[in-house]
Amino acid sequence: MNGFRQRLQNGDVLLGQMVLEFFTPGIGHMLAGCGLDFVIFDMEHGRCDIGLLAEMIASCHGSGIVPMARVPDAGFAPLSRVLDLGARGVMVPRVETRQQAEDIVSQLKYAPMGKRGVALGIAHDLYRAGTAEFFAQANEEIAVILLLETEKAFENLDAIVSVPGVDVAWMGHYDLTVSMGIPAQFDHPRLLAAMDDLVAACQRHGVAPGFLPPTPEAAVHWIGKGFRALSLGSDINVFLDGVRKFRTYVKQGGGSA
């Protein structure tokens, strides 16, 4: 068992990274070597399809990092398909209602918690069909992450976050600002109030708030505000930021970047 859900339930802060571009077999091991806890392979905005996802998840074996998938939308059918490939968590975008949240949990959990279809002796159990105890163990291990990124989602915030089986309510800050009519205004009082509302709702219902802060300073700030599942930027922005700083330092002959 990977302990991701259990660590969140214990109140730990877990750090990972969203991968949209660097779909190389080494990425999981590299991120693990940096001390990260999880990786989310993005099938919504990145170029990752189901075949590539299978390769990325398999490449994470032995690294200690928890591989997860961000599916394109709630209509990706079946949602559990990425679990059969070995993903240990699923992030679903544009969740707006309690009914959607309940359906997502149901698709990702075996009976009696849900209706996930059974296929054993394949990638997710390393081709070794387990015993009857496998189903309860899988339900305990698989993480359900809901992306809340519209005004409608925040109108239904408590109803969504209170659904049994939801582990992380993830702030979709960019989409939310667009939905609010304040695109990219990340310091706007309405967005900041929504961030606080998300944390408060999660605390009421025993769910971890999640977020993708763009900078180390922002990560520290939002952890202090109560966020406990964080992507340290994305692979793209971290790489570009590092190269820019490296180049600036060299061009300035060792001066301050």
Mean pLDDT, to the nearest integer, of 110-116? 96
Entry pTM: 0.95
pLDDT in tens, 146-191: 999 999 999 999 999 999 999 999 999 999 999 999 999 999 999 9
Give residue 256's pLDDT. 58
Q: Name which of 205, 196, 89 is nearest 146 in CA terms.
A: 89
- pLDDT for 2 equals 59
CATH no. of 4-251: 3.20.20.60
With tokens 């301050």, the residue in question is: 256
What is the chain's alpha carbon radius of gyration, rounded to the nearest angstrom? 18
Residue 127 CA, chain-centre distance (Å), reads: 26
4-58 pLDDT tens trace: 999 999 999 999 999 999 999 999 999 999 999 999 999 999 789 999 999 999 9
Q: What is the pLDDT of residues 51-76, one digit of tens each?
A: 999 999 999 999 999 999 999 999 99
Sign, Cα dihedral of 118, 74, 44, 214 = negative
CA distance 45 to 47: 7
